[in-house]
Amino acid sequence: MLIFRMALRNVFRNRRRSLLTGLMMAGGFVLFSATIGISEGTYGSLIDMFTRSRTGHAQVHAAGYLERPSLYKAIKDPDRAGRVLDGLPEVEAWAPRVYTPALAFAGSKTVGAQVMGIDPARERRAMRLEGQLAGGAFVEDVPSDGVVISARLASALSIKTGDEFSLIGQGADGSIANDNFRVAGVLSASGSAFEGPWCLMHIDKAREFMALGSRAHEIALVFTDYRKAREDAALVSAALGDPALDAQPWQVTEKEFYQAMLLDKKGGDITNYVIMLIVAVGVLNTILMAVLERTREYGVLKALGTRPADVFLLIMAEVFILALIASAAGALGALGLNHYLANHGIPLPNPISYGGVKFTVMQSAVTAETFSRPAWTVLLSALAVGIFPALKAARITPVKALSSR
Amino acid sequence: MDKELVIEAKGVSKTYAEGEVKVHALHPVDLAIRRGEFTAVAGPSGSGKTTLLNIISGLDTPSGGRIKLAGREMSSMTQGELSDFRRDHIGFIFQAYNLIPVLTVGENIEYVLLLRGVSPGERSARVNRILDEVGLAGKRGRFPAQLSGGQQQRVAIARAMVSGPDIILADEPTANLDSATGSALMDMMRELNEGKGMTFLFSTHDRMIMEKSSRLVTLKDGRVESDSLKK
């Protein structure tokens, strides 16, 4: 106990030096925390933008569809799956979809297209598809020949809102699928989740076109908390209780986006750890200086019979106390800064538009990690840099230490 | 008679290497200190008295010879064992007091008891008793910086004595004090020596200490020049 009392008093012995060292650590904490907060907030917004533009937080497919999509790999009873999903509080909304490739014709032009059948009412609750319209109207709530096409398909076929075109594909029953459609609306050319030659139509119209009956290829899910997408997807899988169905979170369905995001986050982490390394070197310098100044004292302690382990503990306790106080101060500072950044954010010089949403400010998201990671980093890095001076003090030869000035 | 021996040094020598040159700080020295003695090791600067005290206390290792302290051979001890041995058998009084500045007077004294695993109640009682004996009863909560040099050395004496060591080694204990304070402290230590039978070994070149000691060993150029009992 006396060792810790000594350590505590030693921290306040050279107040100016302890204050500067503490401020350095607290500053590192605040910076680290704000970076995590901004990163989490920005990625939170990006994930929300991305997932709500089309993907959803998770998707249910027939087993094997994700690896190799096919017209025939369909969810046999999407209504039953829907009833199960309605009973899960974690699921905020869901929307069934069907897909098939087709050939699109308009005048003398022919182009490959991707048909997507959607339930407009359900999509409206779950996604922001409608917001991606550049002009015209969205797919009607009742089945009709009015479809929404992507800018790329409109350009390839040289058609616009009100024009007609034809689609030819393959029905699930082996028949030739063909029908005429009217362009009700065109999706935006930039910042849309539908960059390819897409054609969106009412799900019942698409099912009729594909001779798919009541089946669906995909059920897109939106959870109440996107951060729990993995757990909730597993929960959905368990609740569906059908080995023929597979629920996967957005991290799996959009692997490339997720990997790119992780890579970017790791880059940010490296920057943070470099900051903490600089702080740690400063702390090391301070502790070394303190140990050097107190060489004689450590010599006295050892002469009196203090074991090297206790001298080591004394220095480590000092470092820990300083780091703890700095972390507490840093946490307070970080709380204030993150609160400000969560409410006001940092305006983006060039706002980003995606999926019908305009991203204008980078806002902080305050989570437990915003404080826990900087706290652990400050404490552990301080303890790590404390080891060398503490060992140095523990190994002091009393007779040499006592003759030092 | 061996039982009464606290220190038994035989042929203890110390040689330092300064570059290519070897400095003989201590030529083979024999010294026996009996329990209850009040001995001064005197000599001019560089005579080897501090080196001898450092070796006796286990703070330094001899280049040759053997030392027994409280019946135990010290030359074969590891650093850890020496550390424990110092804690259990030796009290130190330094020229520069060497109190721990962040500990109060009471805590400085208590520290050595804590190292020896004395219970909190016993520690407190012994600290109070020893502070009373050295005339610092009201200063328990003060920090060293709040005391005069003489008072600080009294605390150092109390710290050295509180655990009841076999011997107290004092390296120039009055060198930083004025003559009146130094003399008063020596009288106090003499009283403790006579009253409690505690063994003291001083290194000094202070004539007053030499006069007040019961045995005087003089060193010159690392050799024992004389060894005389005064009473």
Instruction: Give pLDDT tens digits for A41-84.
Output: 888 888 888 888 889 999 999 999 989 999 999 999 999 999 99
Percent of chain A whose predicted confidence (pLDDT) is above 90: 65
What are the residue ranges spanned by the domains of chain B? 36-61+77-229
- Residue located via tokens 């997807």: A233
Residue B44's nearest CA partner among B183, B179, B203, B173 is B203
CA gyration radius, chain A: 31
pLDDT of residue B115: 92
Beta carbons of B86 and A304 less than 8 Å apart? yes
Query: Which of B87, B94, B110 lies nearest to residue A305, judging by beta carbons?
Result: B87
Query: Which of B83, B98, B107 lies nearest to residue A300, judging by beta carbons?
Result: B98
Asked if residue B40 lies in contact with residue B204, where contact means CB atoms within 8 angstroms, the answer is yes
Beta carbons of B102 and A306 less than 8 Å apart? no
Which helix (H) or strand (E) segment holds residue B213: the answer is none
Residue A86, both tokens = 């309605």
pLDDT tens digits, one per residue of B196-224: 888 999 999 889 999 999 999 999 999 99
CA dihedral B162, B168, B171, B172 (to 10 degrees): 80
Residues of chain A neighbouring B102 (CB-CB closer than 8 A): 6, 9-10, 13
Least confident of A225-234, B16-25, B148-157: B16-25
For B33, residues 6+ apart whose C-beta sits below 8 A from its C-beta are B5, B6, B7, B39, B167, B199, B201
Distance from CA of B88 to the nearest CA of A (A): 8
What are the residue ranges spanned by the domains of chain A? 2-50+258-402, 96-213
Q: Which residue of A has its CA nearest to B52?
A: A399
Beta carbons of B83 and A306 less than 8 Å apart? yes
Residues of chain B neighbouring A300 (CB-CB closer than 8 A): 94, 98, 100
The answer to whether residue B2 scores a pLDDT higher than 80 is no
pTM more than 0.90: no
Beta carbons of A13 and B59 less than 8 Å apart? no
The answer to whether residue A2 scores a pLDDT higher than 90 is no
Q: Which residue of A has its CA nearest to B80?
A: A307
Choose the CATH number for B36-61+77-229 among 3.30.390.10, 3.40.50.300, 3.30.9.30, 2.160.10.10. 3.40.50.300
Distance from CA of B17 to the nearest CA of A (A): 15
Size of interface A-B (CB pairs under 8 A): 60
Beta carbons of A301 and B57 less than 8 Å apart? no
Beta carbons of B88 and A305 less than 8 Å apart? yes
B67: helix, strand or coil: strand
The whole-angstrom separation of Cα A133 and Cα B189 is: 98
Distance from CA of A35 to the nearest CA of B (A): 39
Distance from CA of A308 to the nearest CA of B (A): 8
Whole-number mean pLDDT of chain A?
91
pLDDT band of residue A193 (cuts 50, 70, 90) is confident
The complex's ipTM works out to 0.89
For A361, residues 6+ apart whose C-beta sits below 8 A from its C-beta are A344, A345, A346, A347, A348
Written in H, E and C, the secondary structure of chain A is CHHHHHHHHHHCCCHHHHHHHHHHHHHHHHHHHHHHHHHHHHHHHHHHHHHHHHHCCEEEEECCCCCCCCCCCCECCHHHHHHHHHCCCCEEEEEEEEEEEEEEEECCEEEEEEEEEECHHHHHHHCCCHHHEEEECCCCCCCCCEEEECHHHHHHHCCCCCCEEEEEEECCCCCEEEEEEEEEEEECCCCCCCCCCEEEEEHHHHHHHHCCCCCECEEEEEECCHHHHHHHHHHHHHHHCCCCEEEEEHHHHCHHHHHHHHHHHHHHHHHHHHHHHHHHHHHHHHHHHHHHHCHHHHHHHHHCCCCHHHHHHHHHHHHHHHHHHHHHHHHHHHHHHHHHHHHCCEEEEEEEEECCEEEEEECCCCCHHHHHHHHHHHHHHHHHHHHHHHHHHHCCCHHHHHCCC
Percent of chain A whose predicted confidence (pLDDT) is above 70: 98
pLDDT of residue B180: 87
pLDDT of residue B1: 42
Beta carbons of B59 and A303 less than 8 Å apart? yes
Q: Which residue of B has its CA nearest to A308?
A: B80
Interface probe for B, chosen from A300, A318, A400 (most Cβ of B below 10 Å), is A300
Residues of chain B neighbouring A303 (CB-CB closer than 8 A): 57, 59, 86, 92
Beta carbons of A402 and B107 less than 8 Å apart? no
For A105, residues 6+ apart whose C-beta sits below 8 A from its C-beta are A157, A165, A166, A167, A168
Residue A332, both tokens = 């307070």
Distance from CA of A404 to the nearest CA of B (A): 12
B42: helix, strand or coil: strand
The pLDDT of B70-90, averaged and rounded, is 87
pLDDT tens digits, one per residue of B94-131: 988 899 999 999 999 999 999 999 999 999 999 999 99
The whole-angstrom separation of Cα B204 and Cα B209 is: 7
Interface probe for A, chosen from B16, B56, B63, B111 (most Cβ of A below 10 Å), is B111
The pLDDT of B51-75, averaged and rounded, is 89
The answer to whether residue A179 scores a pLDDT higher than 90 is yes
For A270, residues 6+ apart whose C-beta sits below 8 A from its C-beta are none
Angle of CA points A222, A227, A229, to nearest 5°? 50
Distance from CA of A314 to the nearest CA of B (A): 13
